[in-house]
Amino acid sequence: MSSSSATREVEHDVRVAAPARAVYDLIADVGAWPRLFPPTVHIEHLERGQNSERIQIWATANDSAKTWTSRRTLDPDGMRVDFRQEVSADPVGAMGGAWVVEATGTAECRVRLLHDYRAVDDDPEKLEWIDRAVDRNSRAELAALRTNAELAANGSELLLTFDDTVEIDGSAEDVYDFINEAGLWSQRLPHVSSVELTEDTPGLQVLAMDTKTKDGSIHTTKSVRVCLPHRTIVYKQTKLPALMNLHTGQWFFDARDGGGVVATSRHTVLINEDNIAGVLGADASVADARAFVRNALGTNSLTTLGYAKEYAEARAR
């Protein structure tokens, strides 16, 4: 770590047992980042060129939710992606850096993650906060990049994505409102026993929730949610059940030809293979875990969509 005047420069790195090109492609595809990186909740493209893009990122930093916009320049030949925040989130005054992928063999590489940053008003306490956030997020992102690149190289069956869809004779606005107003879910949904919702930044929510499963057990989860009226709500669990290493989700609200709305719940899950036996029994397989998770999450999503349907259709009468 070094500093020049009030600007800090840091570097983190990791060795990955996967081809350099495949690892670069994961870094270049920001649409996959919520699945890859623990801090990243959601990314939207604001502009997109052949080798440059402007994106908005929603992510966690030191357990708080933040959003900012960045420009990225992609160099596929050099296997490098440079980034620079356009509009930073307090306490960050400015931040940029680069991802650099260096081949160290045909099926292995080194990834370097560079940052330079300064704090708002060059405040030492704010700079210390950024130091912690950058160090924590960089280590988490590089570890996750290594895990996901190596899983992809080995053709893992631990990752699954699935949808549940309900057609509703109501407005997208009303369905969206029902999902957005998660602070009321303990009153509205039978499988939610308690809920706590905070929204310090409009459209950026932190949701803590206790849900009941069919066997009567209680699961406590915590999620960061990005709410984009009246189109979609994207979320990422930051406190996970034992059977999952990752859980991201998205609610879609699509107007239907002739009126009404098609509401979809999508889940992406990475199974925690180490915990399968402890949760499902010594003889349980990855396939059993996939089926269990698919059923548990799908049941709750369809229950939520069923009550959203009742709510929206009652308001449409």
For the entire predicted model, the pTM comes to 0.84
pLDDT at 271: 94
pLDDT at 215: 74
Q: How far apart are CA 246 and CA 239, in angstroms?
A: 9
Q: How far apart are CA 118 and CA 95, in angstroms?
A: 7
pLDDT at 5: 57
Distances (CA, A) of 103 to 27, 37, 57: 15, 22, 28
The sign one gets for the Cα dihedral 57, 60, 66, 68 is: negative
Half-sphere exposure of 280 (CA within 13 A, CB side): 21
pLDDT tens digits, residue range 152-204? 777 678 989 999 999 999 999 999 999 999 999 999 999 999 999 999 889 99
Distances (CA, A) of 133 to 136, 284, 292: 5, 38, 35
Q: How far apart are CA 19 and CA 252, in angstroms?
A: 35
Highest mean pLDDT: which range of 4-18, 29-43, 77-91: 77-91
pLDDT at 87: 85
pLDDT at 3: 45
Q: Which has more pLDDT, 213 or 89?
A: 89
Q: Among 3-7, 27-31, 99-103, 115-119, name the one with the lowest average pLDDT.
A: 3-7
Domains of the chain, with CATH numbers?
Answer: 2-153 (3.30.530.20), 159-316 (3.30.530.20)
Tell me which residue has tokens 């930051």: 238
Residue 148 has pLDDT above 90, yes or no: no
Q: How far apart are CA 189 and CA 184, in angstroms?
A: 9
Q: Share the mean pLDDT of the chain.
A: 93
Task: Classify residue 103 by burial, with Cβ atoms within 10 Å: 0-12, 13-18, 19+.
Answer: middle
pLDDT tens digits, residue range 42-96? 999 999 999 999 999 999 887 788 999 999 999 999 999 999 999 888 999 999 9
